[in-house]
Structure 1
Amino acid sequence: MESLNSKIDYPALGWDASFGELPTPEAGVAARVVTENRGHFVVLGPSGESAAVLAGALRKNPELRPAVGDWVVMGFEGCAGVPTIHRVLARKSKLSRKVTGRMTREQVVAANLDTVFIVSGLDGGRNLNLRRIERYLVFTWNSGAVPVILLNKADLHGDNTAFVREVEAVAGGVPVQAVSAHDGTGLDFVRSYLGPGRTIGFVGSSGVGKSALTNALIGQVTQLTGDVRQGDLTGRHTTTRRQLLLVPGGGMIIDTPGMRELQLWSEDEDLNDAFGDIAAASRQCRFKDCTHTVEPGCAVKGAVDDGDIQTARLESYHKLSQEIEHLAQRESYLGRLEEKARGKTFGKMLKTFNKTNRKQGGTL
């Protein structure tokens, strides 16, 4: 029996050895998630793009559900023969944030990216925000993908050198490139990260031009773009859902809607990756557990006094560190509550069993 898996070029879609062997015909068919919209999925598999539904276990547990970019295993059971997603394969990278609101739960924004481009705009307003770039760097380092910073709308200025240097000061060695979706400036730099099997993604605030960059790289309008407001030269938010798009010549792009609120789902290690200068200076502190606030012999505060680290950058570091610590405390607290709830449930089951058993004359 010929496997449906043999009918498409999986490596060109990003499949590599990290995902293991392709499923056997008996085990199912592998496909990649193209879009997800309120629980409705489109996947790219042996029959091209097709709608797919979730199996019961995935519907009931949000933490098991696939995200755009995921590789999944499907079956074709049922009279209608609609593809049914049974499981999500282990991810080599994932962009995750805390869900908006008061719930403490992870939301996977996109999966299996090789490079994540953090896009900021050079069109005035609040788009070029160093503190926001630092937050996105922590967000991206957490994913396992490689971050790159793009300063879009470079055509609005004659010389963007000062902007690039300003961002490089907080980038921690991450490449920074001025680009323009309007006139093509810097797009060859972005294309160098594409190629067969390579997946890139764009993240950033609304209006920075992520969809315009996507259209420029693909060579046709695939994502709607909004007009620029004349009051502050800010582009209007247009992308409303995440989508994986194929690029002519090889490679894929995942465009994401602008994030009005980016709550981190990260660890201290991600913070150190984004703030390498502070992490390096902290190794010279007198105390290993130095908080870089009031301790004597703090090398980080010394670097601030010497002008090597900006005061605003250290303040940003403290703010993000407190946010990550609060998240860890919330997770620990909720974990204890869940453990306690499981204990109560087991206790009730045991009590019911013993009561029934006694009525039947047995003992435990």
Structure 2
Amino acid sequence: MTRNYQKFFPPGTQRGGTDRQLSPLEELGWQPHFAQQISSDELVGTPPVRVVEVHRNGLHVIGSAVDEVVPPRADATVGDWILLDPGHVPSSRVLERKSLLKRRAPGTDRQVQLIAANIETAFIVSSCNQDFNIARLERYVAVCFEAEIDPVILLTKSDLVSDPQAFADEAAAISKLAPVITLDARGDQPKSKLADWCKPGKTVAFLGSSGVGKSTLANALSGTRSIATQAIREDDAKGRHTTTRRQLHLVSGGCLVLDTPGMRELQLMDAASGIEDLFADLNELSANCRFKDCRHETEPGCAVQNAIQSGDLDGARLQRWRKLKAEEAFNSASLAERRSKDKAFGKMVRRVVKAKENRNRRTE
């Protein structure tokens, strides 16, 4: 029997127009970007599967006719597409990603932590209370810009303050490319207000600290209460960790939703272009400075300082720009140093092994 490979390829290659039912793989987010990386021959022995959950002991993967847990691997994260080799799982190939969210892992060992892959839209969630932090929101937006993911800022718990618009106005000043939406995480507002981004076959993620309503929003989109939630602490408005791992949830008739644990720390690395996009206004002002190497401090003819003095630019934004640029440069340099040392160590190991093999051959 001839197998029908048409369902694995872009919608435009099928007959009958675009108003058709999505295939099982397309419901999981399968797109032309991934189909173009494989051949029909590869599909015979290595079916594409998507990582929907990461455990310490393995990766939960789902495909057209696959639903199982495979051994973990350091180069794969939730959202990844893998060509699964049932005969030798470690040989399975991770397909090239459309996007990748990552950060410097907490600690001092200069490692990269993969957060999620192949996300179209990131909903950056913050509450209209003590959790609201403009610098933290800027970090999330910069990471999204670097990964070429569309950021949307969601402000929840607006019923807790008398003037939620003040929070919305402050968030809107972060970037013209990051829409701001104020909503109640409970009820029907998430479905209606987020519908433009939550189309069938699309993958969205909720990012933010604990207790801001990420799991509540995910439940609202799915129309269930399958994801556990907890109330914030009343004394300081801080949230409790409810979600303990990153997991993709397939919304019936809609998108895939990634719920993530709250991140206390989001250290930027390899995100220089994301920072540049985030602070596009400062880059435009810098182009008008008298000196090309202007540090925007006390130099004459500094367009940035002139904008601050005239009230067109908040001086605190300049300070946050400097801090993020310095942090990103330090972390990226530290990572490059770590990679260089790992590469040198690998070469040394190979030399030792080769020398040992040569000695063994001479003694035989």
- TM-score, normalised via structure 2 length: 0.86
Q: 1:27 to 1:183 in 2, by over 3 A?
A: closer
Q: 1:84 to 1:9 in 2, by over 3 A?
A: farther
Q: Which among 275, 278, 281 is matched to residue 279 of structure 2? A: 275
Contact 1:76 1:84 in 2 (8 A): no
SS in 1 for 2:24: coil
Give the letter aligned to residue 100 of structure 1: P
Q: 1:334 to 1:41 in 2, by over 3 A?
A: closer
Segment of structure 1 superposing worse, 194-203 or 334-343: 334-343
Q: 1:347 to 1:67 in 2, by over 3 A?
A: closer
Correspondence 1:65-80 to 2 at 5 A: 66-77=76-87
Q: 1:293 to 1:28 in 2, by over 3 A?
A: same
| Distance across 1 between alignment mates of 2:100 and 2:28 | 17
Contact 2:25 2:64 in 1 (8 A): no
Q: 1:356 to 1:234 in 2, by over 3 A?
A: closer
- Alpha-carbon deviation of 1:44? 1.3
Give the letter aligned to residue 53 of structure 1: P
Contact 2:24 2:63 in 1 (8 A): no
Give the letter aligned to residue 36 of structure 1: V
What's the counterpart of residue 117 of structure 1?
123
What's the counterpart of residue 36 of structure 1?
54
Q: 1:350 to 1:109 in 2, by over 3 A?
A: closer
What's the counterpart of residue 100 of structure 2?
94
Contact 2:187 2:220 in 1 (8 A): no
Give the letter aligned to residue 115 of structure 2: V
What's the counterpart of residue 260 of structure 2?
256
- Alpha-carbon deviation of 1:179? 1.1
Question: What root-mean-square deviation, in Å, do the aligned CA atoms of Structure 1 and Structure 2 show?
Answer: 2.7
Q: Which among 161, 167, 173 is matched to residue 163 of structure 1? A: 167
Give the letter aligned to residue 72 of structure 1: I
Contact 2:190 2:220 in 1 (8 A): no
Q: 1:354 to 1:34 in 2, by over 3 A?
A: closer
Deviations 1:264-315 (A, max 9, x none): 1233211111112112111112233333234333222222222222111111
Give the letter aligned to residue 85 of structure 2: G
Give the letter aligned to residue 225 of structure 2: V
- Alpha-carbon deviation of 1:119? 0.5
- Sequence identity percentage: 36
Contact 1:141 1:273 in 2 (8 A): yes
| Distance across 2 between alignment mates of 1:121 and 1:137 | 16
- TM-score, normalised via structure 1 length: 0.86
SS in 2 for 1:281: helix
What's the counterpart of residue 31 of structure 2?
16
Deviations 1:180-238 (A, max 9, x none): 11244454121220112111101001111000000111101121000232223444321
Count of residues in Structure 1 that have an aligned counterpart in Structure 2:
346
Give the letter aligned to residue 45 of structure 1: G
SS in 1 for 2:103: strand
Contact 1:72 1:85 in 2 (8 A): no
- Alpha-carbon deviation of 1:356? 7.1
What's the counterpart of residue 324 of structure 2?
320
Q: 1:188 to 1:266 in 2, by over 3 A?
A: farther
- 2:199 equivalent to 1:195: yes
Contact 1:4 1:29 in 2 (8 A): no
Segment of structure 1 superposing worse, 157-166 or 135-144: 157-166
Give the letter aligned to residue 171 of structure 1: S
SS in 1 for 2:318: helix
| Distance across 1 between alignment mates of 2:269 and 2:253 | 34
Q: Which among 230, 244, 247 is matched to residue 248 of structure 2? A: 244
- Alpha-carbon deviation of 1:260? 1.1
* Structure 1: gaps (5+ residues): none
Contact 2:123 2:207 in 1 (8 A): yes
Give the letter aligned to residue 123 of structure 2: F
- Alpha-carbon deviation of 1:3? 5.2
Deviations 1:139-193 (A, max 9, x none): 2212221111010122334653222111111234410110111244454121220
Q: 1:338 to 1:183 in 2, by over 3 A?
A: closer
- Alpha-carbon deviation of 1:357? 8.1
* Structure 2: gaps (5+ residues): 9-22
